[in-house]
């Protein structure tokens, strides 16, 4: 089993901003912040409301 740690909301917001607005891939952000990529994908899916954001998720998966 993995370890559990609480990630501050400010870090979460920063990671999401980097991915959505600065073109950082999920894999790269996960490495930089030492967060599991699946956790980041979960955050991104929580915020998906329209189809444009789905394109961002797909684009980052392809990177």
Give the pLDDT of residue 2: 67
User: Which pair of structure tokens corresponds to residue 60?
Assistant: 């980052």
Rounded to a whole number of angstroms, the distance between the first and last alpha carbons of the chain is 28
Residues 11 and 49: their CA atoms lie apart, in Å, by 22
pTM of full prediction above 0.75: no
pLDDT recorded at residue 39: 93
H helix intervals, 1-63: 9-22, 26-33, 37-46, 51-62
Parse the chain into domains and list their residue ranges. Answer: 9-62
pLDDT for 3-44, tens place per residue? 788 899 899 999 999 998 898 999 999 999 999 999 999 988
User: What's the confidence (pLDDT) of residue 26?
Assistant: 93
* Residue 46 pLDDT: 81
pLDDT for the residue numbered 52: 54
Q: How confident is the model at residue 44, as a pLDDT?
A: 87
């Amino acid at each position: 089993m993995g370890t559990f740690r609480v990630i501050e909301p400010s870090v979460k917001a920063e990671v999401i901003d980097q991915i959505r607005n600065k073109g950082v891939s999920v894999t790269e952000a996960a490495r930089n912040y030492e967060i599991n990529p699946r956790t980041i994908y979960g955050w991104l899916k929580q915020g998906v409301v329209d189809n444009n954001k789905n394109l961002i998720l797909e684009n980052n998966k392809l990177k």
